[in-house]
Amino acid sequence: MNRKLIAAFAAASVLGAGAAHAEITVGVTLGATGPGASLGIHYKNAFQLVPKTLGGEPVKYIILEDGSDPTNAGKNARKLITEDKVDAVMGSNGVPSSIQIAQVAFEAKTPYLCLTPISLPPEKYHWTFVVPQTTELMMSAVAEHMKAHGVKTVGYIGFSDAWGDLVYKAMTQLAPDYGYKVVTDERYARPDTSVTGQVLKILAAKPDVVVVGGSGTGGALPHVALRERGYKGTIYHNHGTVNAEVIKVGGKDVEGAIAPTGPLIVPEELPADFPTKAISLEFTKRYEDTFGAGKRNAFAGYSYDGVLILNAAVPAALKKAKPGTPEFRAALRDALENVKNVVGTHGVYNMTPTDHNGEDARARVLVRVDNGAWHLLK
Amino acid sequence: MTGGRVSGGRVSAPRVALGLFLVFLVAAPFVLSEFYVTLMNYIGLAALVTLGLVLLTGVAGLMSFGQQAFVGIGAYTTAVLTTTYALSPWLGLAAGLVLTGLAALGIGAITVRLSGHYLPISTIAWGIALYFVFGNLEILGRYNGLQGVPPVTIAGWTVGSGRNSYVLIWIATLVSLIAARNLLDSRSGRAVRALRFRGTMAESFGVDTARLKLVVFVYAALLAALSGWLYAHFLRFVSPGPFNVNAGIEYLFMAVVGGASSVWGAVVGASVLTMLKEWLKDLLPALFEQSGNYEVIVFGVLMVALLHRTREGLMPAFARLVPVARREAWPAEAAPLARRERPQPGEPLLEVRGAHRQFGGLVAVSHLSFEMKSGEILGLIGPNGAGKSTMFNLVTGVLRADGGEILFRGERIERRAAREIARRGVARTFQHVNLVGAMPVLENVAIGAHLRGRHGTIASVLRLDRAEETVLRAEAARQVERVGLGGQLHDAAGSLPLGQQRLVEIARALAADPVLLLLDEPAAGLRYREKQSLARLLRELRDEGLSILLVEHDMDFVMGLVDRLVVMDFGEKLAEGKPQDVQRNPAVIEAYLGGLE
Amino acid sequence: MTADIVAWLAQDGITNGAIYALLALALLLVFAVTRVIFVPQGEFIAYAALSLALMESGRVPGTVYILLGGGALAAAMEIARAVREHALSRLPRILALYVLLPVVIAAIVWWAVPRKLDQWLQILLVLAMVVPLGPIMYRIAYQPLASASVLVLFIVSMAVHYVLMGLSLVFFGGEGLRSRPFSDAHFKVGMLDVSAQSLWVVFASMVLIGALWLLFERSIYGKALRATAVNRIGARLVGIPANLMGQLSFLLASFIGAVSGILISPITTIYYDTGFIIGLKGFIGAILGGMASYPLAAAGALAVGLLESFSSFWASAYKESIVFTLIIPVLAWLSLRSRHVEEEDE
């Protein structure tokens, strides 16, 4: 048995190491199964639409499944880096998974385009570039809207996971600047069948508005429960919730829900001079042509934008080294840090050595559910 | 896979397999690519936890879905200490082991006593409960986890890369494997293996089963914590996700697929599952256009198919390929064990005064009294359901009497636990044979000598018990010879015919060096010649000063053997006296012989 | 905490508890008859709920493919056995049961979906699709292992759970769905505003529990099931076919699961993986009831529902921790109480 194993291992390692590196290789790990599947599927879908060249060079995408599990995500990242010798890593759809990949990318000195908003200690950002808008940036749109409407107290209910934590943290951090108080921190799990207890607690606190920190259709459950129990205030969501399914599930109850999102959810309604209008419109159209009408979502846009950012950085890196080498990875990292005015589906990216996200207020809009669809809130 | 000397002077096949495995482990970091070394690290981490499960579930029969929680405690403890408090990882290891040990003691004290299906469910319950605790505690970084766990350093050498971690992880795994193997191959190990279905039997030979279960539980938890510590410093990031209930189920998967009855099954299971998932990840996207999403389906189908083929897991299937070496039983010169001082013949030995026991409305033993003198063979007979076995169980402490007194050598024992009575020199056999089927005859018999040894789990892990072990085995082998099964010393007990299994039971009881031997239907299933030699053996034993209380159906066997008889019917004493007198007693003829029709 | 909050929480707990009670009964039945800890019970909930929601939106649910594929696989296994045992006369029955029946059901579903039939007819179709999956599953995964240990059967359950959950994700997608309520009515009961749907849940659970009781007490199949549960070997000796009983218990389990799914799909969002945790809580309920008595199992499940509801009010982040931690002392108490001379088997 041992001999066979050795043979198998040896064969496998030879095969893995033998891949030629004439082209640029991008390794992707995503969780299209497991608890994060509803997001991961969209992230993964987008890779059917991404450009087949980067900076004019052919590119190969190697996409691995991590089942939304951080240990697996880390394992995949190591595999992509050491086995497939990728030039950059992308992924994943979950905060812990992404932090784990960032750790691996840091150790292995490989540029990492993170597709989930995470926060890292400053030195760990060296190799990591976060594509999505920070949660603070997104939720500040909500906070502005609340301030404009004189909101003083906010009830919060969110997922009992990293996402729920992230949105809650953003809301409490923004609170002093926008003059409101977060009065509840209720949590629920996506598969929960009832949130009656949490909703009663919120009602007892009588907040002016409620913010829901769920994602996807998971945002509907507390919203519907609040309305059923007669809550009249505005209910805000976050950018994770904005898709068509949540309206299908929530029905009439989610009318009037307000959420921040990237502009690609409502490209048709953007003003003509909106910087991302053309590219958002084009991507959304292609996505819905491929995967069905009404399937537009923010997550696919992050994958797409990640590739666009790479595309912008590759030419500079190619001048310094050949793909598949540590020198190229280092050059790519340097180039990524200096990309300017990359127009993506979500926003305009301007990286600097201290800002590895590079998005500004152009990367967010507020949308509201009117007549069974998300519309730009003007 | 064996210790001790190997017969025939040539190297045994399992040793070759083990040697190859070790060669592979040593060579791996030099020949394998970076990623496969990394995969080996994951395998080692999983094998550690699975090893605990093999001991807990496969050997001791305690099913647990909660190991991932102990991995989590180990990982989080060191992560908090090394990041927030910037302490040494070694302190993290110590603290993690201590904390896990305490947690396991606390949880185990409640849960290992649970019977049947309460145990697995309670392990699921605390597994889930701890997961949410990990996710909600601010100090543990909530669901975002703790970043920036430093690598381990050993005397200035930093265990940073995958290859360095490999060394650390596999040294830990190998040491744990050897420790586990040592444990199973010892006095405590035999008792652990007896735990699975034979709790009553183990107690009857002086094993404190509740304590032993707790020891195994804590040991498995410590292995999990060790894995957690290695995990934290290898992956440098700890979050709640890897410690949810699915992870616990995954470990159990590995144990079952690998073969939960063998310590090497842990390595096989961890390797096969890890590699299989990795290969599926590469293979399936090539087969299906759309990548992902199918792995879990194919994985599940393969698992069902595998279990349809081999229920015992892969390790027994591998083991069948490799002929098992027979170890020499004992060096002939092994010193005999010290023997108990025996009472003078004719001294009062056992006194039963009005013993009473009922099950619900059914009176099994009704105010029964009889006496037994040292050095006699007393037969306890009666029709089926007369209460003979219940009486046995009352004397040996397996059941507790509702009323009455039982005195052994003048001391009241009716309130004592089985293992305390065993300590006083009472040994027994069981009506339904109570052997650990997969274990060799020799080791089954050695369980009988449990109380004659004293080395515990730690000594056996460190192999400090070898001298004693040799003596115990020698004693066991002597008793096996004595009952005439010298040729079957190394056969699995379950493979013997039923009659011979009863003889193994007698040998096991004799290995306890008893003053009083209780035999429950020893002649059932024996052929005529075997009965003859059994009767001869029992007479010899009596002549050596042993007292024997015998329940038996075979009248010819009983009448020729016993000194006196007590006849029971419906829980009451019908008659008492010498065999000839009892045989002529009309009440006995009516109730007993009449009942045979 | 005010009285109306208590009342609300109680109502919520009872609604969820009623579902857990149904599942507890199914799990108990399957365990007693086959010794299988039936983890995939939860999948029937998801399959039924998601199929119903998809049919309502005018799409053919993937369940029909699972039914057709599962039936074909089971038929192949049965035919292989028939050939091995030279019993080709079984072929027509095998084909009718495992091939023809699923094909007919699938055909009706395909015909019915675009016509957007009445909700009750759709529910019947969902039952027709999901319920046969139980016996098919038993045939494929469990029957060949009928004599294996509880541990092995459990691991098989987990593997089957993975397969079904994976299929569920492929066919239903990662997002949740919710079906239309049977009725939008609300009743004022004191200060409570009770939705008709939650009354439906409680009412249907009670009816089903009553029906199960009747089945066990009155029908010959029920008695055979009970006999098998009490003593498996004895039942075989008196000529009760173990495989038939296994399939029957799985049939009841899939029926109960499907009904539960249909009942809750209008009051919550169901995901492809929702079933597992609901099934687990049902199982906890069954255990609290001592894994032996049906009324106690139902009471245990109700207790889980209430505990969950109240702890979601007190400390929602720790809800599961509270529910699962409080169960341990209860388990310990139950275990000590039910202590008996150990079962000796290997």
CATH code for the domain in which residue A100 is found: 3.40.50.2300
Dihedral angle sign, alpha carbons of residues B144, C280, C195, C189: negative
Is pLDDT at C115 greater than 90 in this prediction? no
Q: Residue B405 is part of which domain span?
A: 346-425+514-597
Average pLDDT over every residue of A163-182: 94
For chain B, the domain total comes to 3
Q: Going by C-beta distance under 8 Å and a sequence separation of 6 or more, which residues neighbour residue C180?
A: C56, C119, C266
Is pLDDT at A5 greater than 70 in this prediction? no
pLDDT score for A178: 95
Interface with B, mutate which of C38, C321, C340 (most B CBs under 10 A): C321
List chain C residues with CB under 8 Å of A249: 175-178, 269
Mean pLDDT of chain A: 89
- Report d(CA B586, CA B571) in Å as an integer: 18
Q: Minimal CA–CA distance to C104: which of C68, C62, C144, C63?
A: C68
CB contact under 8 A, B241 and A1: no
CB contact under 8 A, C12 and A191: no
Interface of A with C in 278-307 (CB under 8 A): none
Distance from CA of B24 to the nearest CA of A (A): 7
C303 within domain boundaries: no
Q: Same structural domain for residues A105 and A210?
A: no
- Report d(CA C327, CA C284) in Å as an integer: 8
Q: Same structural domain for residues B508 and B523?
A: no
pLDDT tens, residue by residue, B202-225:
888 888 888 888 999 999 999 999
C135 within domain boundaries: yes
For chain A, the domain total comes to 2
CATH number at B414 reads: 3.40.50.300
pLDDT score for A326: 92
pLDDT score for A27: 94
List chain C residues with CB under 8 Å of B111: 328, 331-332
Angle at B304 between CA C172 and CA B35, to 5 degrees: 85
Is pLDDT at A14 greater than 50 in this prediction? no
Q: Same structural domain for residues B148 and B256?
A: yes
List chain C residues with CB under 8 Å of A188: 312, 316, 319
pLDDT score for B328: 52
CA distances from A371 to A230, A248, B353, C294 (A): 20, 11, 89, 48
Which of A185, A195, A217 lies at the smallest CB-CB distance from C175?
A: A217
**Residue A153 at interface with chain B, using a CB cutoff of 8 Å:** no
pLDDT score for B60: 84
CB-defined contacts B:C, below 8 A? 152
Distance from CA of C197 to the nearest CA of A (A): 13
Is pLDDT at A93 greater than 80 in this prediction? yes
Angle at A39 between CA A35 and CA A43, to 5 degrees: 130
Is pLDDT at A34 greater than 50 in this prediction? yes
Residue in B closest to C37 by C-alpha: B117
C98 within domain boundaries: yes
* Helix locations, chain A, DSSP H: 2-17, 37-45, 70-82, 95-108, 135-148, 162-178, 196-205, 220-228, 244-250, 277-291, 298-318, 326-337
Is pLDDT at A21 greater than 50 in this prediction? no
Interface with C, mutate which of B284, B303, B314, B394 (most C CBs under 10 A): B303
A12 within domain boundaries: yes
Are the CB atoms for B451 and B514 separated by under 8 Å? no
Compute the CA torsion angle C13, C15, C17, C23 (nearest 10 deg). -160
Q: Same structural domain for residues A342 and A231?
A: no
**Residue C43 at interface with chain A, using a CB cutoff of 8 Å:** no
Average pLDDT over every residue of A233-252: 91
Q: Which of B288, B321, B354 is the last residue of a domain?
A: B321
Which of C287, C321, C325 lies at the smallest CB-CB distance from B117?
A: C287
Q: Same structural domain for residues B473 and B483?
A: yes
CB contact under 8 A, A71 and B242: yes
A93 within domain boundaries: yes
CB atoms within 10 A of CB A116: 26
B330 within domain boundaries: no
A343 within domain boundaries: yes
Strands C192-195 and C186-189, bridge-based pairing: antiparallel
Q: Same structural domain for residues B311 and B371?
A: no
CATH number at B139 reads: 1.10.3470
Q: Same structural domain for residues A125 and A168?
A: no
Q: Same structural domain for residues A8 and A116?
A: yes
Q: Residue A65 is part of which domain span?
A: 2-133+297-363
Distance from CA of C189 to the nearest CA of B (A): 36
Mean pLDDT of chain B: 85
Q: What is the phi/psi pair of residue B536, to 5°?
A: -60, -45
Interface of B with C in 133-192 (CB under 8 A): 133, 136
pLDDT score for B47: 95
C343 within domain boundaries: no
pLDDT score for B286: 67
Q: Which of A240, A261, A282 is the last residue of a domain?
A: A261
**DSSP E strand stretches across chain C:** 186-189, 192-195
pLDDT score for B327: 54
In percent, the amount of chain A with pLDDT more than 70 equals 94
- Report d(CA B312, CA B306) in Å as an integer: 10
Is pLDDT at C17 greater than 80 in this prediction? yes
List chain A residues with CB under 8 Å of C173: 38, 41
Which of A63, A74, A165 lies at the smallest CB-CB distance from B235?
A: A74
Q: Phi-psi category of A68—alpha, beta or left, where left has phi over 0 and alpha has psi -120 to 50?
A: left
Collapsing DSSP states into helix, strand and coil, what is residue B473?
helix
Q: Same structural domain for residues A147 and A114?
A: no
Q: Same structural domain for residues B460 and B556?
A: no
| pLDDT tier at A11, thresholds 50, 70, 90 | very low
Is pLDDT at A342 greater than 90 in this prediction? yes
List chain C residues with CB under 8 Å of B200: 341-342, 344
pLDDT score for B593: 58
Interface of C with A in 287-346 (CB under 8 A): 309-314, 316-317, 319-320
Peptide bond before A92: cis, by omega within 30 degrees of 0? yes
Q: Same structural domain for residues A126 and A140?
A: no
**Residue B142 at interface with chain A, using a CB cutoff of 8 Å:** yes
Q: Same structural domain for residues A253 and A142?
A: yes
pLDDT score for B330: 53
Collapsing DSSP states into helix, strand and coil, what is residue B542?
helix
Average pLDDT over every residue of C212-241: 79
Residue in A closest to C50 by C-alpha: A249
CB contact under 8 A, B271 and A5: yes
Collapsing DSSP states into helix, strand and coil, what is residue A116?
coil
Are the CB atoms for A40 and A32 separated by under 8 Å? yes
The residue count of chain C comes to 346
Collapsing DSSP states into helix, strand and coil, what is residue A258?
strand
CB contact under 8 A, A196 and C310: no
The residue count of chain B comes to 597
List chain A residues with CB under 8 Å of C310: 197
CB atoms within 10 A of CB B554: 16
Q: Same structural domain for residues B206 and B259?
A: yes
A271 within domain boundaries: no
Is pLDDT at B322 greater than 70 in this prediction? no
CB hemisphere CA count around C1 (13 angstroms): 14
Are the CB atoms for A216 and A245 separated by under 8 Å? yes
Q: Residue C167 is part of which domain span?
A: 20-288
B263 within domain boundaries: yes
pLDDT score for C109: 92
Is pLDDT at A55 greater than 50 in this prediction? yes
CB contact under 8 A, B293 and A103: no
**DSSP E strand stretches across B63-189:** 146-147, 152-154, 157-159
Lowest mean pLDDT segment, chosen from A267-281, B47-61, B320-334, C101-115: B320-334
Which of B257, B300, B308 lies at the smallest CB-CB distance from C144?
A: B308
Q: C144 is written with which tokens?
A: 């060949």
Interface of C with B in 8-27 (CB under 8 A): none
Which of C11, C277, C317 lies at the smallest CB-CB distance from A191?
A: C277
CB contact under 8 A, B235 and A100: yes
pLDDT score for A12: 45
Lowest mean pLDDT segment, chosen from A237-246, A272-281, B190-199, C9-18: B190-199
Estimate the crossing angle of helix C294-314 against helix C319-337, to 10 degrees. 150
Lowest mean pLDDT segment, chosen from A63-77, C84-98, C226-240: C226-240
Q: Which of A206, A235, A261 is the last residue of a domain?
A: A261
CB-defined contacts A:B, below 8 A? 131
Q: Which of B277, B305, B321 is the last residue of a domain?
A: B321
Instruction: Give C130's DSSP letter.
Output: H
Collapsing DSSP states into helix, strand and coil, what is residue A368?
strand
Q: Minimal CA–CA distance to A359: which of A263, A240, A236, A216?
A: A263
Q: Same structural domain for residues A97 and A186?
A: no
List chain C residues with CB under 8 Å of A221: 268-269
Lowest mean pLDDT segment, chosen from B286-290, B432-436, C132-136, C333-337: B286-290
For chain C, the domain total comes to 1
A273 within domain boundaries: no
pLDDT score for B249: 87
- Report d(CA B475, CA B511) in Å as an integer: 7
Is pLDDT at A15 greater than 80 in this prediction? no
Residue in B closest to A98 by C-alpha: B144
Q: Same structural domain for residues B200 and B273?
A: yes
Strands B572-577 and C186-189, bridge-based pairing: unpaired
* H helix and E strand count, chain A: 12, 15
**DSSP E strand stretches across B375-532:** 377-381, 403-408, 411-412, 426-428, 516-520
Distance from CA of A198 to the nearest CA of C (A): 5
Which of C159, C318, C342 lies at the smallest CB-CB distance from B199?
A: C342
Q: Same structural domain for residues A120 and A169?
A: no
CB contact under 8 A, B129 and C324: yes
Predicted structure pTM score: 0.88
Lowest mean pLDDT segment, chosen from A110-124, A341-355, C280-294: C280-294
Instruction: Give C57's DSSP letter.
Output: T
**Residue A228 at interface with chain C, using a CB cutoff of 8 Å:** yes
CB contact under 8 A, A193 and C174: no
Average pLDDT over every residue of A32-40: 86
Interface of C with B in 128-147 (CB under 8 A): 140-141, 144-145
Average pLDDT over every residue of B186-196: 85
Q: Same structural domain for residues B528 and B506?
A: no
Distance from CA of C52 to the nearest CA of B (A): 23
CB contact under 8 A, A99 and B239: yes
- Report d(CA B395, CA A158) in Å as an integer: 63
Average pLDDT over every residue of B542-566: 87
B454 within domain boundaries: yes
List chain B residues with CB under 8 Å of A42: none
Collapsing DSSP states into helix, strand and coil, what is residue B353?
strand
Which of C174, C277, C312 lies at the smallest CB-CB distance from A197?
A: C312
C144 within domain boundaries: yes
- Report d(CA A328, CA B217) in Å as an integer: 51
Q: Going by C-beta distance under 8 Å and a sequence separation of 6 or more, which residues neighbour residue C328?
A: B110, B111, B122, B125, B126
pLDDT score for A49: 92
B316 within domain boundaries: yes
